[in-house]
Structure 1
Amino acid sequence: MKLLTYHVKNEKKIGVLENDLVYCLAELAELYNAERNESVTIEGDMLSLIENHQTAIHNIWDWVQTNPSKTEGSAVPVQEVTIAAPISNPGKVVCVGNNYMDHCIEQNVEPPKKPMIFSKWATCIIADGEDIVLPPDSEQVDYEAELAVVIGKAGKNISEEEAFDHVFGYTILNDVSARDIQFEDVQWVRGKSYDTFAPLGPVIVTKDEIEDPHNLDIRLEVNGEPLQDSNTKHLIFNIPHIISYLSKGFTFQPGDIIATGTPHGVGVFRNPQIFLQPGDSCKIEIQSIGVLENKVVN
């Protein structure tokens, strides 16, 4: 499933995106209950859905796919809704730095022996189509296309063999970074956590839809110019290793987000350097997930 949070007629809903149509999960639950004489309820935001309704949404969507006539006319075109960030309130946004071999090569640095970890604040999350706002105290705002993992089950001291049991799905994150602030501070959190510095979405693709998250094309372009073009097979530390490594120190909760790192082509290591400017359009595409696009403003 491709799950999304959206607004229609000033009402916030959780839905499934299929063939450019959006199905409201709460409305599907009502149809499902009427047909099967059950009492499944879908309520709350995406975080609540991940915490409480994973089995229900899969059961409902399986029923929809085998009974398409039962839901005919219940969907709306995606162009008629306003897409929000799929999750706006994760407990943690954990990021992995220097996690692509090609990114290490462009910096002329040795690949890390252990995952390099930093965090972004949830307050910097924005949706597909919303604006990245350039802060007045930075002149070097950069882009970073990243595959993001959404945690679906709480856990601590998770083994690599059990790591995927704790994954709910995958989405796209743009790890926007104020490079001058990042390098001036030495630690990275402030330079990466300005408001609007974490475009996220547009959807969460449930893990059953992604055969191999370590073999997905990942691309970024600014104003139509390709600047990043790689594949998640070049990750240095794979997803099970990251989850296991991090869970030795803290407990993962449903809805937590892990940004797995960015490939080569970021602006700060280009010659000449490229930084985001007012009026730019920054577009990320990850195979099997979709496209995340945001404009840049002062």
Structure 2
Amino acid sequence: MRLYTYQVNNQTPQIGIGFKEHPGLLWPLEVFHLSYTDMNDLIRHVPLEKLILKADCHKVNPKNALPIDTLHLMAPIPYPRQDILCLGINYAEHAVESARFHKDSFLVNQEKAVYFSKRVHKASGPDETIPLHENLTSSLDYEAELAVILGKDCQNIKREDITPDTARQYIYGYTILNDVSARDLQVEHKQWYFGKSLDGFAPMGPCIVTADEITFPPVLPISSRINGELRQQSCTNYLIHPIDEIISELSSGITLTAGTIIATGTPAGAGMGYTPPKFLKSGDEVICEIEGIGKLRNLVE
């Protein structure tokens, strides 16, 4: 299933469900006798297995569907209830290009996972703008990332308990996150929180693909294009620290709640990795794509 948050004529946001057998269509959640309008609440109160059963029990009729291209898609979780948890330098080649850009701020050959958080007041949806924040930064950068959405509260989860057969007990689904970054702020402050957390720095979407539709661990081609130019191209199986390790390590001392978003890191090809750097400018079109999830398009202004 594909879970969307959408609006019709600027009305209250709604949740819809799409199916790969019916591309371009979604059905309002109420069709499945569920009344949630906030994805956080759906994830908290309706376990994935129950949602799958609900969807299976209701034979969808295309006549009752809404064409997605007539709707305003928002980020699937527009208002996360906690900071997004992020992995830094979690692809080997990105670690190299990061250290080359500024070795004192970006370590290479880091044995332990690098964690940081990203404050998000409101996550941007497809086709929404990425603000330049010209008063704060002159090195605006993009990062295509696979984001994991947890489906239950997690405490002291053992890595060996997260298997291809059990992963969806912990993971509700996956989406695309563009971890927009102000590189100069990262360097100046010698930490990443401020430079990762400016308003508009968390485009997300276009949907959450539920964990039952993606084999665990995910092996998904990931890429980004700027104005049609291919910049990043890799695969999620190249994560240095894989998803099961991340969930296990974080939950060993932190309670991870249902709906938590974990951004797993970006591959090589970010703007800072080029000589000279290719940072974003006004009017740029940014498309992040993960096979099996979709495309996330945003314009810079």
Say whether residues 1:4 and 2:4 are aligned partners: yes
Equivalences for 1:100-115 in 2 at 5 Å? 100-106=91-97, 107=99, 110-115=108-113
The partner residue of 1:98 within 89, 95, 107 is 89
Give the deviation of 1:124 after TM superposition.
Answer: 5.0
Partner of 2:118: 120
- Structure 2 portions without partners, runs of 5+: 101-106
Alignment of 1:1-298 (within 5 A): 1-9=1-9, 10-18=11-19, 19-29=23-33, 41-54=34-47, 55-64=49-58, 67-68=59-60, 71-90=61-80, 91-106=82-97, 107=99, 110-135=108-133, 136-163=135-162, 164=167, 165-297=169-301
Q: CA deviation at 1:187?
A: 0.9
Gaps in structure 1 of 5+ consecutive residues: 30-40
Matching residue's letter, 2:43: I
Deviation at 1:26, TM superposition (A): 1.0
1:72 Cα deviation from its structure 2 partner: 4.1
More displaced stretch, 137-146 vs 86-95: 86-95
Indicate the RMSD between aligned Cα atoms, in angstroms: 1.4
Q: Matched residues in 2 for 1:291 and 1:59: separation?
A: 28
1:78: Cα distance to partner?
0.6
Determine which structure has the larger helix proportion and give its number: 1
C-alpha distance in 2 between matches for 1:250 and 1:127: 29
| Moved >4 Å (runs of 4+) | none
Contact 2:6 2:74 in 1 (8 A): yes
Q: Specify the SS of the correspondent of 1:294.
A: strand
Moved more, 100-109 or 254-263: 100-109
TM-score (norm 2): 0.90
Separation in 1, partners of 2:272, 2:122: 21
Q: Distance in 1 between matches of 2:129 and 2:140?
A: 14
The AA in structure 2 aligned to 1:175 is D
Tell me the distance in 2 between the aligned counterparts of 1:187 and 1:269.
19
**For the residues of structure 2 that align with 1:220 and 1:114, how far apart are their CA atoms?**
27
Query: Within 2, Cα distance between the matches of 1:267 and 1:59?
Result: 44
In structure 1, the residue matched to 2:104 is none
Q: Deviations over 1:191-232 (max 9, x none)?
A: 000000010111001100001343110000000000000011
CA distance in 1, matches of 2:253, 2:109: 22
Most deviating of 99-108 and 43-52? 99-108
Contact 2:79 2:122 in 1 (8 A): no
SS in 2 for 1:122: coil
**What is the rounded CA distance, in whole Å, between the counterparts of 2:205 and 2:267 in structure 1?**
18
Q: Contact 1:42/1:53 (CA < 8 Å) preserved in 2?
A: no
The alpha carbon displacement at 1:102 in A equals 1.8
Identity among equivalent positions (%) equals 42
Shift of 1:176: 0.4
If the length of structure 1 is used for normalisation, what is the TM-score?
A: 0.91
Q: 257-266 or 108-117: which moved more?
A: 108-117
Work out the CA distance in 1 between the residues paired with 2:178 and 2:109. Answer: 22
Pick closer, same or farther for the CA change 1:104–1:192 going to 2, 3 Å.
Answer: same
What count of residue pairs does the alignment treat as equivalent?
282
CA shift for structure 1 position 21: 0.5
Shift of 1:60: 2.1
